[in-house]
Amino acid sequence: MTRSSRIAHAAANNARLFRAPGRANIIGEHTDYNDGLVLPTNTALYTWLTISPRNDRLVMVTAESLAEHGRFDLDDIAPVQHPTWIDYLKGVAAEIETTGIELKGADLTIFGEIPIGGGLSSSASVEIAMAFAMLGIAGVSMPGREVAKACQRAEHNYGGVKCGIMDQFSVACGQHGDAMLLDCRTLTTESVTIPVEMTLLVTDSGVKHRLSEGGYNQRADECRKAVEMLKAKDSSIMALRDVEPETLDVHAAMLGKDLLRRCRHVVSENQRVRQAFHALQAGDISGVGTLVKHSHMSLRDDYEVSCDEIESLVGIADACDGVLGSRMMGAGFGGCVLSVVRTECVSDVRREIGEKYGAICGAEPWIHTVSAAAPAGEVAVT
């Protein structure tokens, strides 16, 4: 179903239509749950959600992309040990109601354009679309930042993923045409326009990750363990964003090889985020590309969240004329690769990546050109 037909379908069925974009993070990976800095933008791939209110407290869901149906009762929501897609939606409803808002039952249909497990934040997009839709039919508004917090709690408590705030905050609050420097501790933001000379290209490796079952939570636990050790030496350290490179040098032996590497990635990545923001302000797209390259090396070597397919794809992309730097994006262990490309070279780069990586994996990869999109909200159907 096309976007125009989706609008027409909602109008014909007297339903309301909501959408939420995907998130493409330029730089700042695994820093958000360490109270650090990130530099995301949204992209014009969406989760679409049609909703009609019910007269009871049941929520009936059709997930078109999964060809599945689900249901739950707003009065009977609890976390489960092995969450599936429906638990993310349950969690959003439950966390909104903990704020004192009473929701209504609803009939929902969800269709997603965002590759699942690709590092473009399909889960946060679904969560935010669900939140705005349920609030909409309840006749209640909530600031985007509060919606983001509720959806982050839903992912923690019902999705089983110890994620940071970046994905939900970007999807709920990002601005069209801009990247957002987000301080994940204070939730303060600064916007910067993405130069027209620079294009972000996203290529799917074909390797899917599932965060609640992969190494994502393990990395978050490692960071917390390192903070506990460092805090015992310096009580001002509350998260890895409070750590300086010199502190790591002093306590390297205490941390040990693995924890030192995890810390080194987060500390250096926060520095790269600030540098990338200033490079964008100055229109220095080559500088952005170089920082993206260094980010990937840090994610590969210190955080150890890459894989063979990602390495092949990054190597192919970086060898293309016009590519200024590439890195794995999202949690890692698969997913997509982001490349910073000179805009005049995008067509040739897309073709070359498609041919060369397609020859390796046996099928031409999905490639997406990022178009910095507006945040989530309702779409008029009349």
Nearest Cα neighbor of 268 from 285, 287, 243 is 243
Q: What is the pLDDT of residue 12?
A: 63
> What are the backbone angles phi and psi of residue 51, rounded to the nearest 5°?
-145, 140
Q: In this structure, is the dihedral angle defined by the CA atoms of residues 230, 234, 239 and 243, taken in order, positive or negative?
A: negative
Amino acid at 194: I
Find out whether 146 and 131 touch, Cβ atoms under 8 Å: no
The pLDDT tens digits of the residues spanning 313-324 come to: 999 999 999 999
Cross-strand pairs, 203: 337, 367
Structure tokens at 353: 């990546």
130: Cα separation from own chain's centroid: 16
**Which residue in the list 87, 167, 178, 204 is annotated as catalytic?**
167
Domains of the chain from N-terminus onward: 3-194+375-379 (3.30.230.10)
> Rounded to whole angstroms, what are the CA distances from 289 to 42, 199, 275, 310?
19, 11, 11, 17
Using CA atoms, how far apart are residues 7 and 325, in angstroms rounded to an integer?
38
Using CA atoms, how far apart are residues 91 and 107, in angstroms rounded to an integer?
17
- 167 part of the active site: yes
The pLDDT tens digits of the residues spanning 59-83 come to: 999 999 889 999 999 999 999 999 9
Structure tokens at 232: 């015992």
Predicted confidence pLDDT, tens digits, the chain (382 residues): 666 767 776 766 789 999 999 999 999 999 999 999 999 999 999 999 999 999 999 999 999 988 999 999 999 999 999 999 999 999 999 999 999 999 999 999 999 999 887 789 999 999 999 999 999 999 999 999 999 999 999 999 999 988 899 999 999 999 999 999 999 999 999 999 999 999 999 999 998 765 544 578 899 999 999 999 999 999 999 999 999 999 999 999 999 999 999 999 999 999 999 999 999 999 999 999 999 999 999 999 999 999 999 999 999 999 999 999 999 998 888 899 999 999 999 999 999 999 999 999 899 999 999 999 999 999 998 7
Q: For the chain, how far is it from start to end, CA to CA, in angstroms?
A: 18
Using CA atoms, how far apart are residues 21 and 173, in angstroms rounded to an integer?
11
Pairing relation of β-strands 37-53 and 106-112? antiparallel
- Contacts of residue 268, defined as CB under 8 A and 6 or more positions apart, other chains included, come to 245, 294, 298, 302
- DSSP string for residues in 64-90: GGGTEEEEEETTS----SS--HHHHHH
The pLDDT tens digits of the residues spanning 9-57 come to: 676 678 999 999 999 999 999 999 999 999 999 999 999 999 999 999 9
Find out whether 151 and 95 touch, Cβ atoms under 8 Å: yes
Q: What percent of the chain has pLDDT over 70?
A: 96
